[in-house]
Amino acid sequence: MKIIKIILLGSLFVLIILIAIRTVQGEPKTSLKAGEELYVWYCIPCHGLAGDGKGFNAKNLDPRPANHTDGGFMKKRTDKELLDAVSGGGKAVGKSTLMPPWGNTFTETQMKSLVLYLRKLCRCVGE
Ligand code: HEC
């Protein structure tokens, strides 16, 4: 009987520690890795795995999806503008509504992670 009590108390203790760690860590941080994972899952049908705008669905779209590897094009957007385009879709930045809004799908942190990944794809910074 004593051993069961020890096991139960032990598990309770571990649980409390885990909850405490989770609370201290809070919201997960913006990360390039998270951005890449989201991009590969949600953006490549249109923008392509390489980010060059040649996803398998691209040929059905007019205008064609943006080429995120095009530094000349991407550097003309600030991080804020990219975030607005991801959050509110093409419409939010005066572009085509074929670019969907993601603001109700992702958290702010996830969208900032996507912007980090966009900057990796274009190897550029906003001017
Ligand atoms: C259904 C197809 C589709 C999907 C899915 C899609 N996009 Fe787009 N995206 C487009 C199209 C089309 C454009 C070009 C709009 C234009 O030029 O008017 C575009 C343009 C953009 C632009 C450039 C906006 C600008 O300022 O010119 C960004 C940034 C972008 N997409 C990011 C993303 C991200 C990040 C994802 C995934 C979360 C994503 N897109 C998913 C179709 C898509």
- Closest-CA residue, ligand 1 atom 20, reads 66
Low-confidence ranges of the chain (pLDDT < 70): 22-23, 25-27
Give the pLDDT of residue 8: 85
**Among 47, 56, 55, which Cα is nearest to 82's?**
47
Is 90 close to ligand 1, i.e. is its CB under 6 Å away?
A: yes
Give the pLDDT of residue 27: 65
Asked if residues 38 and 110 have their Cβ atoms less than 8 Å apart, the reply is: yes
Between CA 57 and CA 55 the distance in angstroms is: 5
**C-alpha distances in Å from residue 90, one per residue of 3, 32, 54, 97, 109:** 62, 23, 18, 5, 20
32's tokens: 């390039």
Give the pLDDT of residue 85: 98
Give the pLDDT of residue 9: 87
Length of the chain measured in residues:
127
Query: How many angstroms from the chain centroid is the CA of residue 65?
Result: 17
Between CA 27 and CA 98 the distance in angstroms is: 31
Measured in Å, residue 64 CA sits from the centre of ligand 1 at: 9
Measured in Å, residue 65 CA sits from the centre of ligand 1 at: 5
Give the pLDDT of residue 26: 66
Between CA 84 and CA 115 the distance in angstroms is: 10
